[in-house]
Amino acid sequence: MGKHLMKGNEAVIYGALLGGATHYFGYPITPASEIAHAAANLFPRCGKHFLQAECEVSSISMLYGAAAAGARVITGSSGPGLSLMAEGLSYLSGSELPCVVVDVQRAGPGLGYIWPEQADYNFIVHGAGHGSHSGVVLAPNSAQEMCDFTYKAFELAERYRCTVFVLSDAYIGQIMEPVDLPRQIQSNPHKDWALYGDAESRHNLLSSIYLKMEELEGHNQHLQDKYRRMAEEIVDFEEFETADADYLFVAYGITSRICHSAQQLLRNKGIKVGMLRPKTLFPFPDVRLRELAGQLKKIIVAELSNGQMVRDVRLAVEGRVPVDLYNWMGGRIPSTEEIVHRLEAETGGL
């Protein structure tokens, strides 16, 4: 316990083990490889199970099997690996099996390169895999939150019987910072719906196939009701100096740290800028954004993609305020000064 210096990727595994994880299945991929490395080292030492699969298709299938047997399961990967997991992720959602999946985003499309990007947003937030499904999406912006969000992800996964994604990026995964580890060790509870290979659970049925149209429609309606309940119960965000703001930055992950520094510099120059950082990307803090829209001159969404989260912000504010996009692609990270100078130029420094 206590405070330790570690990478964000390593912090994931400390958060997982302290959060009651029992099994890690995965395949290493840059810039997420330290997650698998740390799991290979620490899971067996803690009496838990680690297995390096031959590929990501296998690892997500292993998650399915172990989750069905009541285990607390986790894997970590990056964009190309998540693409291979897409079918299994849909099966997990359809069968309502809880699991935790960490995505340390890298530049794409295709192999791209290992530099940071945030272009997996649409894929992860709006339903990884086929069908009308979603999972909780947590967006850490520090090594500390890589630990904390993974720690709490298992409880959320089991509360809603869903996949919880920890959507990070290469900077947050590779950054080395002090991490204060959780003080309480969670355990893996017994699950009434799981298959334990005993007489009590032999009648439990876990499947995503429905042979009658009416039953499948009812199942889909049940899932959508669950997602609406998530939006009412667990939406989370952090905001800075929004009370009198004329302009509002909206950003997550590494971009939120840069925007927060820019927001403070702009305040010092007399430009009333606030900031909202979503901690949950699904459910999205659309209600709070709609509340703020009436007082603002403009919202600026900053992200490392072609503009994916900006669409959710525009839907949230319903045209009540202009929404601009500051974006970068291919792994390029903006400087604080770049963002400051751009907004100064647009406002005339007023």
Neighbours of 337 (CB within 10 A): 11
Q: Which domains does the chain have, with CATH numbers?
A: 3-233 (3.40.50.970), 237-347 (3.40.50.920)
Closest CA to 74 of 85, 61, 63: 63
Give Cα 123 to chain centroid, integer Å.
11
Q: What is the pLDDT of residue 349?
A: 63
Q: Which residues contact 296 (CB under 8 A, 6 or more apart)?
A: 245, 246, 247, 248, 321
pLDDT (tens, 9 = 90+) of the chain, 350 residues, equals 689 999 999 999 999 999 999 999 999 999 999 999 999 999 999 999 999 999 999 999 999 999 999 999 999 999 999 999 999 999 999 999 999 999 999 999 999 999 999 999 999 999 889 999 999 999 999 999 999 999 999 999 999 999 999 999 999 999 999 999 999 999 999 999 999 999 999 999 999 999 999 999 999 999 999 999 999 999 999 999 999 999 999 999 999 999 999 999 999 999 999 999 999 999 999 999 999 999 999 999 999 999 999 999 999 999 999 999 999 999 999 999 999 999 999 987 65
The torsion angles phi and psi of 247, rounded to 5 degrees, stand at -130, 150
Task: Please state whether beta strands 99-107 and 113-116 pair in parallel, antiparallel, or not at all (unpaired).
Answer: antiparallel
Tell me, what's the pLDDT at 127? 86
DSSP code at position 272: -
Torsion of CA 330, 255, 308, 157, to 10 degrees: 110
d(CA 166, CA 188): 20
Of 304, 258, 298, 275, residue with least CA distance to 105:
304
DSSP-derived secondary structure for 99-161: EEEEEEEEE-STT-EEEE--TTHHHHHTTSSSSS---EEE---SHHHHHHHHHHHHHHHHHHT
- Amino acid type, 265: L
The pLDDT assigned to 224 comes to 97
Structure tokens at 255: 């971009």
Spatial separation of the C-alpha atoms in residues 79 and 74, rounded to whole Å: 16
Look-up: residue for tokens 């010092």? 268
- CB–CB of 32/78 below 8 Å? yes
